[in-house]
Amino acid sequence: MKRRDVLGAFGATAVMTFAGSRARAEQLLPFYDLPAKYMNWAALGTAYEKRTGVKLTIDLKTGSSTALAAMKAEVARPQVNGAFWSLDIAIEGKKAGVTMPYKPKGFDAIPDSRKDRDGHWWAMSSANIVIGANTDVLRKHNLPLPKTWNDLLKPDYKGLCGMMEPTYSGTASTFAYGINFIQGGTKDDFTPGMKWLKAFADNGGQYRSETMGPRLVTGDVGILIDAEGNILLPKAEGAPVVVIAPPDGVVAVELGMSMMKGAPDQERARQFFDWLLGDEAQSIIGASYFRPVRKETLPKAVAAELGEPEKLIPLDLEHEAAVVTNLKRAFTEIVTRGGDLADVLRRYRLAA
């Protein structure tokens, strides 16, 4: 083989790879982050591909915060068209300058508190954050279902509980924020919430880096704190899991979309955003036991199964967004690294 041939072979391979990726790229519409097993993005992706031939990127990252980090790093050369994330992180995204405005069809029907006036983010659905339990695991340990959040701190449930890392996942960061109000804390004092999060870890509760719904189904964790739909959908499919909405209070995570600033494929991104608020997508979301922002699309049977919690504690999204980064920092220093609770909270101005 002559050198020319070798170089030629290299060149041909490069051209073919490039051409191949172009062809694929035309059908692919990249977003951060559409997890297959969260809000049933697997079903949403399949339905959208069937309707339009456009393939979505399922399972690129692990959470809202990781999506935001990637978008910050890529803002000069955007690699994705937008993000699906919890709205506290979306507000951070707007502040960080990684989003651009768009008002999809159906934007006007979204309540003002659940969208950005300029269209940098808008709600698509919400989900109550609840306790999921694997009944097989609990039966094996002869344990009753937990009833309250504080039950999870009892030695009976030691080592059985898990949830996602608040530093990665928007659902988990919303819970880390919300548990403070469930436990009697205030916007000026996050001591009660942080104490709970630390006690959870001290009782063997795990903060994990992967999507956790499937872990509850297999019994890797016996008890999971997660969005209700991630537990109710497997339940409907026959998994031995149940949902408990503790009467001492439940918070909801607001989920929505944003368009990435300088998105490479804005035309098709807009079509996708429009579709997500339309009847088809909204009813898939409902059928997956998440609460669609257009409430009328929620199937009656699902509405009955979802029910309404005894005490839903409303969260102040703007405030949550303003403190969530410090809260994640404080969480890491206190819970992961064993720092002094009062000192750290004071340093991040989360307690007096």
Binding site for other proteins (CB under 8 A): 1-3, 6-7, 10, 65-66, 68-70, 72-73, 96, 159, 165, 167-168, 206, 209-210, 218-221, 325, 328-329, 332-333, 336-337
Q: Which is nearer to other proteins, 1 or 352 (CB)?
A: 1
CB of 3 to other proteins, least distance (A): 5
Q: 64-74 vs 170-182: helix axis angle to the nearest 10?
A: 130
Q: Which is nearer to other proteins, 60 or 298 (CB)?
A: 60
Residue whose structure tokens are 């499919």? 237
User: Which run of H or E residues covers position 208?
Assistant: strand 206-208
Q: Which is nearer to other proteins, 43 or 96 (CB)?
A: 96
Give the separation between CA 98 and CA 101, rounded to whole angstroms. 10
CB of 8 to other proteins, least distance (A): 12
Q: Which is nearer to other proteins, 143 or 276 (CB)?
A: 143
Q: Count Cβ atoms within 10 A of the Cβ of residue 22 and give its class: 0-12 exposed, 13-18 middle, 19 or more buried.
A: exposed
- For residue 169, give the DSSP letter: -
Give the separation between CA 50 and CA 281, rounded to whole angstroms. 12
* Contact between residue 179 and residue 327 where contact means Cβ atoms under 8 Å apart: no
CB of 294 to other proteins, least distance (A): 32
CB of 220 to other proteins, least distance (A): 5
Neighbours of 338 (CB within 10 A): 10
Q: Which is nearer to other proteins, 27 or 336 (CB)?
A: 336
CB of 204 to other proteins, least distance (A): 9
Q: Which is nearer to other proteins, 127 or 224 (CB)?
A: 224
SS3 content of the chain, % helix, strand, coil (to 5): 50, 20, 30
CB of 273 to other proteins, least distance (A): 24
Neighbours of 91 (CB within 10 A): 22
CB of 168 to other proteins, least distance (A): 6
Question: Quick check: helix, strand or coil at residue 334?
Answer: helix
Give the separation between CA 265 and CA 270, rounded to whole angstroms. 9
Q: Which is nearer to other proteins, 223 or 232 (CB)?
A: 223
